[in-house]
Amino acid sequence: MFLLGLLAIPLLGAALIAGSPAHAAKRVALAATSIAVALFIPIVAGFDFANNGTMQGGVEYAWLPTLGVKFAVGIDGVSLALLGLTVLLGPICVAASFTAITDRPKTFYAWLLILQAAITGVFCARDLVLFYICFEFTLIPMFILISLYGSTNRAKAAIKFFLYTFTGSLITLAGLVYVAWQHSLKHDGVWNFDIDTLAATARNLPLSTQGWVLLALMAGFAVKVPLFPVHTWLPLAHTEAPTAGSVVLAGTLLKLGTYGLYRFALGYVPGAMAEHAQTIAILCVVGIIYGGLICWVQRDVKKLVAYSSVAHLGFCVLGLVALNQTGITGSVLYMINHGLSTGALFLCIGMIYERFHTRNMAELGGLAARMPVWSTFMVFFAMASVGLPGLNGFVPEFLCLIGSFQADSRWGHGLWGSTTTSMASYGTRGDLGPWLTLIAGTGMIIAAMYLLYMVGRVVWGPLVLPPGFKADDGHGHGHDDSKGSHTAEAEKHDDHGHHSVLPTDLCGREIAILAPLAFLCLALGVYPKILTSSMDLAIDSQVKVLEEKLIERDRTRMGSTTPLVPVPPATKPNEGSGRPSASTIDSRIMVQNAGMQEAGR
């Protein structure tokens, strides 16, 4: 029931905003999102982490029984984590817009809340149609946020964003409906759109069919992620969107794509995934390097971060298509952590934009001298984004890379392993392997290159301010030209006689926005287990199916039932961790083979 509350609160908030005066809009929005955060607490408290693979907190109502459509919500460990991210970013986005949005605040906050409700809906939908509806519905609020509150090129950005993602997702709808139809064929023509029920049918579709379905799924989700060749809407949308829009876009909206891939590409068409993982992985790797290098030559700091999302999500999907526990766990962690760190970077950039009305790195530099607090946060989040160990970016990236490194069916054979000694191989089945990982790994270097380039330009170096701002101006800024190109906020500054509402460095509200994100970045970097242990079984259930398909695939490819690795003899050395503490999951993950158990301990 709390899930319903999570869906309803933002909508109620939006309704309330519609009926309240303009100056109260931001308070109502803040209250609504805060209540949502509060509501999330009982959800977490009530969540059975020991069974995080099963759907919990579910509510189900008949909706369109003719089509077998239900209104069904429920969450498992993965959904919970993403839901947490969504809910958390809610008040942050609202608070980040307090001074940035002065024109038509009611519309802005109302749509922001609706957007949150839609994203919440995606992550907790248990019904395909509900999922799709929420998935699509995110477009409208985002469209409005960009087209009404964006910068100069906003109309084009909004339209492109909308059409690109909308087109893709319509094809996805076709694919999903196809699956539903196949299900109905096997169930006396009774249609059902339950996500889990359909998964069972979809998995058993013939491989070629699965391939087509995968293609359809990719059409929508890859655009949303976005993967390499279909990414161009993202930089544009990010650049033009208002800060809160960018944060939601990077933080959660892109995750709809990866979540869709996780839920449907892995869950529905594991066979096809096993078949085509390499292709997708290559796209990811290309995206990592391509996106990263493009970042490096950007002049617009927001565009730089936007392109970095292309590179980062390349890692995320790479882990996903590794099709093993390490990779997928890394990928899901990546979804969360990218949301935090990149969202925070966008917030930081937004704060600068609010002050100087420029994102051009040629006009900004050395802000550390002027804004030490901001600079500290900026460097911190840049480092989180770079993937510095100890911060949140590292563990997911590393796990994704390990996952893809592991995923090679050749491990354990010939040159790739040992058949002459008793050493087992710890690779998993797949087509990715070390070479791909090596190339992807250069993305780590490139990430350092462009993010440090950005930090070096904006934060370090001699102080550079855009024309009209005095470098020695103690507070506020001498912004005195109203060229009309700026939006209402610029006009507002002019109205107030060149007195900015913002201090030189961050104000308390802005610190309060960034601090929780920074804390989470640190906390999740130091103790990622809080996430990994809450989603291990959920991912395990996916991996189980994928592994079967991979075994089948390898069998057909190799023409025999060659095991991945030679059977380790019973006398082989201590294989497991050797740690006396028997973990809880070990008892849950079955170790059927008694001999193995013995060897493992």
Per CB under 8 A, contacts with other proteins among 362-421 are 366, 368-369, 379, 383, 388-390, 394-395, 398-399, 401-402, 405-406, 411, 415-418, 420-421
Q: Does 273 bind other proteins (CB under 8 A)?
A: no
Touching other proteins, residues 327-356 (CB under 8 A) = 329
Q: Which is nearer to other proteins, 5 or 461 (CB)?
A: 461
Q: Which is nearer to other proteins, 35 or 323 (CB)?
A: 323
Q: Does 585 bind other proteins (CB under 8 A)?
A: yes
Give SS3 for 72.
strand
Q: Which is nearer to other proteins, 35 or 378 (CB)?
A: 378
Q: Does 505 bind other proteins (CB under 8 A)?
A: no
Among 19, 45, 462, 484, binds other proteins (CB under 8 A): 462
Q: Does 437 bind other proteins (CB under 8 A)?
A: yes
Q: Which residues pair with 464 in a beta bridge?
A: 365
Contact by Cβ (8 Å): 346, 484:
no
Contact by Cβ (8 Å): 151, 487:
yes
Whole-number minimum distance, CB 402 to other proteins, in Å? 5
Q: Which is nearer to other proteins, 164 or 469 (CB)?
A: 164
Contacts of 166 (CB under 8 A, 6+ apart): 136, 139
Q: Does 217 bind other proteins (CB under 8 A)?
A: no
Count residues binding other proteins (CB under 8 A).
141
Q: Does 547 bind other proteins (CB under 8 A)?
A: yes
Whole-number minimum distance, CB 42 to other proteins, in Å? 27
Contacts of 161 (CB under 8 A, 6+ apart): 139, 142, 143, 146, 233, 236, 237
Among the listed ranges 75-83, 88-96, 194-202, 223-231, the one in contact with other proteins (CB under 8 A) is: 223-231
Beta strands in 118-204 (DSSP E): none
How far is 339 from 358, CA to CA, in rounded Å? Answer: 24
Contacts of 499 (CB under 8 A, 6+ apart): 476, 493
Q: Which is nearer to other proteins, 497 or 574 (CB)?
A: 574
Whole-number minimum distance, CB 497 to other proteins, in Å? 25
Residue-wise over 254-282: b if at least 16 C-beta within 10 A, else e? bbbbbbbbbbbbbbbbbbbbbbbbbebbb
Among the listed ranges 33-41, 74-82, 91-99, 585-593, the one in contact with other proteins (CB under 8 A) is: 585-593
Measured CA distances, 206 to 84, 182, 201, 221, 266 (Å): 37, 11, 10, 22, 15
| Region for 468 from its dihedrals, namely left if φ exceeds 0, alpha if ψ lies in -120 to 50, beta otherwise | left
Among the listed ranges 1-9, 27-35, 426-434, 494-502, the one in contact with other proteins (CB under 8 A) is: 426-434
How far is 582 from 596, CA to CA, in rounded Å? Answer: 15
Give SS3 for 496.
coil
Among the listed ranges 72-80, 269-277, 338-346, 520-528, the one in contact with other proteins (CB under 8 A) is: 520-528
Give the alpha-carbon dihedral of 423, 426, 429, 433, to 10 degrees.
Answer: -100
Q: Which is nearer to other proteins, 257 or 528 (CB)?
A: 528
Whole-number minimum distance, CB 476 to other proteins, in Å? 21
Contacts of 471 (CB under 8 A, 6+ apart): 370, 463, 465
Q: Does 428 bind other proteins (CB under 8 A)?
A: yes
Q: Does 133 bind other proteins (CB under 8 A)?
A: yes
How far is 79 from 538, CA to CA, in rounded Å? Answer: 10
Whole-number minimum distance, CB 217 to other proteins, in Å? 13
Longest dimension (CA), the chain: 82
Task: Answer positive or negative: Cα dihedral of 533, 534, 537, 541.
Answer: negative
Q: Does 47 bind other proteins (CB under 8 A)?
A: no
Burial of 462 (0-12, 13-18, 19+ CB in 10 A): exposed
Among 77, 91, 257, 434, binds other proteins (CB under 8 A): 434
Whole-number minimum distance, CB 43 to other proteins, in Å? 24
Touching other proteins, residues 135-154 (CB under 8 A) = 136-137, 139-140, 143-144, 147-148
Q: Does 240 bind other proteins (CB under 8 A)?
A: no
Touching other proteins, residues 89-128 (CB under 8 A) = 107
How far is 364 from 496, CA to CA, in rounded Å? Answer: 24
Q: Which is nearer to other proteins, 30 or 80 (CB)?
A: 80
Among 98, 109, 221, 290, binds other proteins (CB under 8 A): 290
Among 68, 91, 150, 430, binds other proteins (CB under 8 A): 68
Whole-number minimum distance, CB 189 to other proteins, in Å? 5
Whole-number minimum distance, CB 197 to other proteins, in Å? 15
Q: What character string, x for contact with other proteins (CB under 8 A) and - otherwise, covers 160-189? A: x-xxx-xx--xx-xx--xx-xxx-xx---x
Contact by Cβ (8 Å): 283, 240:
no
Contact by Cβ (8 Å): 215, 175:
yes
Among 279, 499, 527, 598, binds other proteins (CB under 8 A): 527
Among 99, 120, 309, 326, binds other proteins (CB under 8 A): 326
Q: Phi and psi dihedrals of 429, rounded to 5?
A: -75, 145
Contact by Cβ (8 Å): 292, 446:
yes
Q: Which is nearer to other proteins, 41 or 297 (CB)?
A: 297
Whole-number minimum distance, CB 474 to other proteins, in Å? 15
Per DSSP, the residues of 505-552 read S--HHHHHHHHHHHHHHHHHHH-THHHHHHHHHHHHHHHHHHHHHHHH
Q: Does 551 bind other proteins (CB under 8 A)?
A: yes
Angle subtended at Cα 434 by Cα 210 and Cα 82, rounded to the nearest 5 degrees: 55
